[in-house]
């Protein structure tokens, strides 16, 4: 469980990654609570699109919720 219990991560949430500041702000474009949609089970539940690079990447739930900085959220959560 995330240590930031009062924050909500859903589609449309804006985040930054302090480990990669050159990527700028990213937006969560997909949340799949069962894990990434592939043939194997994965902890990667957030698909994040970087506005700077133009690329999207799947990220672990714990990484996004514990390491990334929340910039904006609508205040509701997908779970």
Residue spans of the domains in the chain: they are 14-72
Each residue of 44-75: pLDDT tens digit? 889 999 999 899 999 998 999 999 999 998 76
Which residue is listed with tokens 């929340």? 70
Rg (alpha carbons) of the chain, rounded to whole number: 12
pLDDT (0 to 100) of residue 51: 92
| Mean pLDDT computed over 15-19 | 93
Greater confidence (26 vs 76) lies with 26
Quote the pTM value.
0.79
Each residue of 23-52: pLDDT tens digit? 899 999 998 877 666 556 677 889 999 999
- Distances in Å between the Cα of 29 and the Cα atoms of 3, 47, 49 are 22, 6, 7
DSSP 12-32: T-EEE-TT-GGG-EEEEEEE-
**pLDDT band of 4, cuts 50, 70, 90:** low
Residues with Cβ within 8 Å of 7's Cβ and at least 6 positions away in sequence, in order, are 65, 70, 73
């Amino acid at each position: 469980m995330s240590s930031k219990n009062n924050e909500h991560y859903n589609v449309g949430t804006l985040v930054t990654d302090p480990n990669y500041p050159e990527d700028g702000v990213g937006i969560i474009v997909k949340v799949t609570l069962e894990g990434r949609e592939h043939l194997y089970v994965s902890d990667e539940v957030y698909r994040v699109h970087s506005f700077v690079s133009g690329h999207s990447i799947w990220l672990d739930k714990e990484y996004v919720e514990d390491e990334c900085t929340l910039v904006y959220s609508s205040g509701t959560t997908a779970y």
